Amino acid sequence: MLASKRILLIIGGGIAAYKSLDLIRRLQEHGAQVTPVLTRAAEEFVTPLSVSALAGQKAYRDLFDLTDEAEMGHIQLSRSADLIVVAPATADMMGKMAAGLANDLASTLLMATDTPVLCAPAMNVRMWDHPATQRNLKQLQQDGIRFVGPNEGDMACGEYGAGRMSEPLEIVAAVEAHLADGPLKGKRILVTSGPTHEPIDPVRYIANRSSGAQGTAVARALAALGADVVFVTGPADVPPPQGVQVVQVETAQQMSDAVDAALPVNAGVFAAAVADWKVATASDRKLKKSRDGLPSLEFAENPDILKRVSQMGAGRPDLVVGFAAETDDVIDNATAKRARKGCDWIVANDVSPATGIMGGSENAVVLISDQGAESWPRMGKDMVAARLAQKIADALAG
């Protein structure tokens, strides 16, 4: 529920603005108060009258409206909410936010605020895929802006792909996750997840069978307890959770850089199946079959992210949790790994093919800590995640 939560809803100028009318209703049904702001372009898609009628309050439109300044200045307006939601966040709006421009009411509010911001992007698939938008997305994620969506599907412009604004109820779920009260409220937690892809050439890569299911479940469970989660994920099979800050990477080196950018955090959970090796000299041209025989690949070691973070002095998270995927002698190997890496806990599991754990929906883990080994019964990955999140909450509180 969002009882008594105040949402400042900035409606950008895109066709998805019609969904923002429904979003106002859904947020209100969940108990939130919605103060709407329209950009000039948004008024081409929805009228201020319908927006203010649904919100039950004035729709703010103009930076230089002196009545507004007398009633509530733009600085105060920007800080009066528990959360700012930008829906739809157009390519133009994301560009302005990333560049720090403030030339209308919406962009000025976003610059002046110290309130968390959640964006629901909506645009044509080419605009979403454009390097400029992707660059802006990365920048905004690094600035701490949260994202929900976009989804993939048919678009109003007749094309198909990523760029559809999330449905109003998905946005409400992301708002709820963000505003969730719980034992981890105010704690910033990093989660790595999924496999990494190490390029051989522009079309081939080395990967592993990690689906990202367990890491995703852990991130979702931590967010449900109120944590501010930074989710650094390789190319996973499952979609990232709602309401967390998602940073998408491909290689181990990119994951390592994204982890550095996310620090400092109160806790780090390293659930990613990071490739131990990369191809030392990945080719920038596709390798050809040749008469010279088979190509030989030379490997180089990837950074060990868990080890580095565990062994950093100043700035080390209070709690560092590693994962260990083992196929034999699980407890002995995981105990040795905990010591070698220097992390606080290791969540160890047996991934031998017979268990069906890798890529499956269940997990049977042993938690290794300085207290020894604690075996948990086989249960759904969501249950493992919930139990781990609660243990992390207890440890950070203690």
How far is 394 from 198, CA to CA, in rounded Å?
37
**DSSP sequence for 216-262:** HHHHHHHHHTT-EEEEEE-S-SSPPPTTSEEEE--SHHHHHHHHHHH
Write down the least CB distance from residue 278 to ligand C5P, Å.
10
Q: Determine, following the binding rule CB under 6 A, whether residue 251 of this chain makes contact with ligand C5P.
A: no
Write down the least CB distance from residue 256 to ligand C5P, Å.
7
- Where does residue 111 rank: exposed (0-12), middle (13-18), buried (19+ CB within 10 A)? middle
Q: Determine, following the binding rule CB under 6 A, whether residue 23 of this chain makes contact with ligand C5P.
A: no
Q: Which of residues 179-198 bind ligand C5P (CB under 6 A)?
A: 192
Q: Determine, following the binding rule CB under 6 A, whether residue 274 of this chain makes contact with ligand C5P.
A: yes
Q: Determine, following the binding rule CB under 6 A, whether residue 270 of this chain makes contact with ligand C5P.
A: yes
Q: What is the CA radius of gyration of the chain?
A: 23
Write down the least CB distance from residue 15 to ligand C5P, Å.
41
Q: Which of 38, 232, 252, 267 contacts ligand C5P by CB under 6 A? A: 252
Judged by CB under 6 A, the stretch of 17-25, 234-242, 268-276, 365-373 that binds ligand C5P is: 268-276
Could you tell me the CA-to-CA distances from 45 to 16, 40, 50, 88 in Å, in that order? 8, 10, 11, 11
Site size toward ligand C5P, by CB under 6 A = 15
How far is 287 from 82, CA to CA, in rounded Å?
53
Write down the least CB distance from residue 275 to ligand C5P, Å.
7
Q: Which of 324, 351, 368, 386 contacts ligand C5P by CB under 6 A? A: 324
Residue number, 110 or 368, with CB nearest to ligand C5P: 368
Q: What is the DSSP letter of 363?
A: E
Interaction pattern, residues 280-319, with ligand C5P; x per rule: CB under 6 A: ----------------------xxxxx-------------
CA–chain centroid gap for 110, Å, is 20
Mention every residue, 6+ apart, whose C-beta is less than 8 A from residue 75: 112
Provide the sign of the torsion angle of the four alpha carbons 333, 307, 345, 223, taken in this order.
negative
Write down the least CB distance from residue 347 to ligand C5P, Å.
8
Write down the least CB distance from residue 210 to ligand C5P, Å.
9
- Where does residue 103 rank: exposed (0-12), middle (13-18), buried (19+ CB within 10 A)? exposed
For tokens 């080994």, name the residue. 373
Q: Which of residues 61-80 bind ligand C5P (CB under 6 A)?
A: none
Interaction pattern, residues 334-353, with ligand C5P; x per rule: CB under 6 A: ---x----------------
Whether the CB-CB separation of 46 and 21 falls below 8 Å is answered with yes
Residue number, 96 or 278, with CB nearest to ligand C5P: 278
Whether the CB-CB separation of 198 and 277 falls below 8 Å is answered with yes
Task: Clarify whether 343 is annotated catalytic.
Answer: no
Q: Determine, following the binding rule CB under 6 A, whether residue 272 of this chain makes contact with ligand C5P.
A: yes
Residues noted as catalytic:
157
- Give me the residues that bind ligand C5P (CB under 6 A), please: 192, 252, 270, 272, 274, 276, 302-306, 322-324, 337
